[in-house]
């Protein structure tokens, strides 16, 4: 959709910085963002497509497995509404850092069977976390079930917030321009909600990304406006290290409000703001670097490149 560490957006050592002192203060870009690791011939990185079980059906998913022997921490990466930006460059950078990455298309999205609903998005996110803890899957894909992080963009950030708030087993939650689905869709007049949904889905333009109608989604969000509110997840999120990345897309206020609602009594919150659009179109390296730096500081994180 269109306090241990509270950081301003890093300049990332770009050559376009205007002064030498500013360049010296810029944080270096993590190697996993810009460089391929040496190939591990015995335990190479790999990719596997799979049909992930959720509530009686199986949805399209892909797992990127990291190189190296032994178990790896794993990120569940959730896309937004409808999912034109899947952040696969971010997934690759995370994998180069030594993490597995599981990404998926929710029920009714991009060819996955079933009906698309916002409720199904939340259920599918939890089903994916459950799948990551199945012993047979852990053995096959070298998943460390005790080191799982959920990260999401836009609607996926909303789903990541909900999943993290309701799953005590994750070790961190990352929100990238998390969309307040209750406030943005559920709490606005129906004509405005329908327009916003259609603008994203492209239904009136002939696009068929989701098995749903704008009318059904608007009605669902209205019925669940309070429970779908991003702020409703604050108590559960206080238990996990949290990354909040925002841009100039109009969502910063609700994301900042979530951080305030969690307060200083919870786990550490890292906030990063990047001056770009909702898709981080001209700040992809900055986005990847921000996520990688945060992952590097989580307990038990791999050494990376």
The residues pairing with 192 across neighbouring beta strands, listed in sequence order, are: none
Question: How far apart (Å, rounded) are the C-alpha atoms in residues 138 and 299?
Answer: 20
Nearest Cα neighbor of 17 from 29, 26, 27 is 26
Residue 305 inside a domain? The answer is no
Q: Could you give the dihedral angle defined by the CA atoms of residues 123, 46, 173 and 31, in that order, rounded to the nearest 10 degrees?
A: -160
Q: What is the pLDDT of residues 53-65, one digit of tens each?
A: 999 999 999 999 9
Other Cβ atoms within 10 Å of 210 Cβ, number: 26
Using pLDDT thresholds of 50, 70 and 90, give the confidence band for residue 14.
Answer: very low
- What is the number of alpha carbons within 13 Å of residue 13 lying toward its C-beta? 10
Q: What is the pLDDT of residues 205-254, one digit of tens each?
A: 999 999 999 999 999 999 999 999 999 999 999 999 999 999 999 999 99
Residue 303 inside a domain? The answer is no
> Which distant-in-sequence residues (6+ apart) come within 8 Å of 130 by Cβ?
none
Residue 227 inside a domain? The answer is yes
- What is the number of alpha carbons within 13 Å of residue 223 lying toward its C-beta? 9
Q: How far is CA 137 from CA 32, 52, 69, 85, 131, in A?
A: 26, 11, 16, 27, 7
Let me know: does 57 contact 33? Beta carbons within 8 Å.
Answer: no
Q: CA quadruple 84, 164, 295, 53: dihedral positive or negative?
A: negative
- Note the pTM of the prediction, 2 decimals: 0.91
Determine if the peptide bond prior to 33 is cis (ω within 30°): no
Let me know: does 149 contact 74? Beta carbons within 8 Å.
Answer: yes
Using pLDDT thresholds of 50, 70 and 90, give the confidence band for residue 302.
Answer: confident
pLDDT at 12: 35
Residue 59 inside a domain? The answer is yes
pLDDT at 19: 27
Residue 304 inside a domain? The answer is no
Tokens of 154: 């836009």
Tokens of 235: 């108590």
Using pLDDT thresholds of 50, 70 and 90, give the confidence band for residue 265.
Answer: confident
Residue 302 inside a domain? The answer is no
Structural element, H or E, at residue 150:
strand 143-153
Q: What is the pLDDT of residues 104-137, one digit of tens each?
A: 999 999 999 999 999 999 999 999 999 999 999 9
**Total domains in the fold of the chain:** 1
Residue 301 inside a domain? The answer is no
> Which distant-in-sequence residues (6+ apart) come within 8 Å of 195 by Cβ?
none
SS3 275: coil
Q: What residues make up the domain containing 82?
A: 5-296
pLDDT at 5: 32
Is residue 305 pLDDT above 80, yes or no?
no
Q: How far is CA 60 from CA 103, 194, 216, 287, in A?
A: 9, 27, 23, 26
pLDDT at 20: 30
Q: The CATH number of the domain where 285 resides is what?
A: 3.40.50.1820
Find how far residue 117's CA is from the centre of its chain.
Answer: 18
Residue 210 inside a domain? The answer is yes
* Across 6-21, average pLDDT: 31
């Amino acid at each position: 959709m269109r306090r241990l560490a509270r950081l301003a957006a890093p300049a990332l050592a770009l050559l376009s910085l205007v002064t030498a002192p500013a360049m010296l203060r810029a944080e270096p870009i993590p190697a996993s963002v810009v460089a391929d690791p040496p190939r591990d011939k015995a335990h190479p990185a790999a990719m596997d497509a799979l049909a992930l079980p959720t509530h009686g059906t199986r949805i399209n998913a892909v797992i990127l497995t990291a190189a190296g022997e032994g178990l790896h921490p794993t990120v569940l990466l959730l896309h937004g509404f409808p999912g034109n930006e899947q952040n696969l460059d971010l997934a690759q950078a995370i994998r180069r850092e030594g993490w597995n990455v599981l990404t998926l298309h929710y029920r009714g999205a991009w060819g996955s069977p079933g009906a698309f609903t916002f409720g199904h998005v939340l259920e599918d996110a939890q089903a994916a976390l459950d799948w990551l803890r199945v012993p047979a899957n852990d053995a096959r894909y070298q998943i460390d079930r005790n080191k799982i992080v959920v990260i999401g963009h836009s609607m996926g950030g909303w789903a990541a917030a909900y999943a993290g708030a309701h799953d005590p087993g994750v070790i961190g939650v990352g929100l990238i321009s998390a969309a307040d689905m209750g406030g943005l869709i559920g709490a606005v007049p129906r004509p405005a909600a329908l327009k916003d949904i259609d603008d994203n889905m492209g239904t009136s333009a002939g696009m068929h990304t989701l098995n749903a109608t704008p009318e059904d989604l608007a009605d669902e969000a209205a019925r669940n406006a309070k429970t779908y509110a991003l702020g409703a997840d604050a108590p559960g999120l206080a238990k996990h290290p949290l990354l909040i990345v925002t841009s100039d897309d109009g969502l910063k206020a609700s994301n900042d409000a979530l951080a305030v609602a969690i307060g200083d009594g919870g786990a550490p919150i890292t906030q990063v703001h990047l001056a770009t659009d909702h898709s981080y179109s001209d700040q992809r390296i900055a986005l990847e670097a921000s996520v990688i730096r945060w992952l590097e500081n989580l307990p038990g994180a791999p050494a990376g490149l």
